[in-house]
């Protein structure tokens, strides 16, 4: 079955530690995205990548870093510089990065990060 996997589902870290969230897709999608969701809020874009070895900052990139070395993988590192890292993190992918595409974004199950 094709899909997007995120691991782990729940993650606990001590303040000051960096942590990397995994996102893997076997849908052969070009574009991948990371969002953050806080309670009762919508999704805010952290980083996105339209193609391998390229990525752009979203609206709230400070304190986060990403890499896109393989088409199917887009890991997100939450660094100690992120002031309020506790949140629900969602990874998504989209078939094409070309202009005018009408495809929706497909989401992984999410990782809930709690920093103690």
Residues 45-64 that bind another protein (CB under 8 A): 45, 48, 50, 58
Q: Is 31 in the site for another protein (CB under 8 A)?
A: yes
Coil, strand or helix at 106 = strand
Q: Which residue has the tokens 């996997």?
A: 5
DSSP 21: E
The residue with tokens 């609206």 is 59
Does 89 contact another protein by CB under 8 A? no
Among 53, 54, 81, 109, binds another protein (CB under 8 A): 109
Could you give phi then psi for residue 68, rounded to 5 degrees? Answer: -140, 75
Give me the residues that bind another protein (CB under 8 A), please.
31, 33, 35, 40-45, 48, 50, 58, 88, 90, 94, 97-102, 104-110, 112
């Amino acid at each position: 079955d094709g899909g997007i996997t995120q691991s782990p589902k729940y993650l606990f870290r001590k303040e000051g530690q960096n942590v990397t969230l995994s996102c893997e897709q076997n849908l052969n999608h070009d574009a991948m995205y990371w969002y953050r969701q806080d309670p009762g809020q919508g999704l805010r874009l952290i980083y996105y990548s339209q193609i391998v070895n390229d990525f752009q900052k979203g609206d709230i990139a400070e304190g986060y870093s990403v890499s896109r070395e393989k088409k199917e993988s887009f890991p997100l590192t939450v660094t100690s510089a992120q002031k309020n890292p506790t949140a629900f993190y969602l990874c998504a992918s989209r078939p094409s990065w070309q202009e005018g595409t009408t495809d929706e974004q497909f989401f992984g199950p999410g990782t809930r990060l709690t920093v103690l």
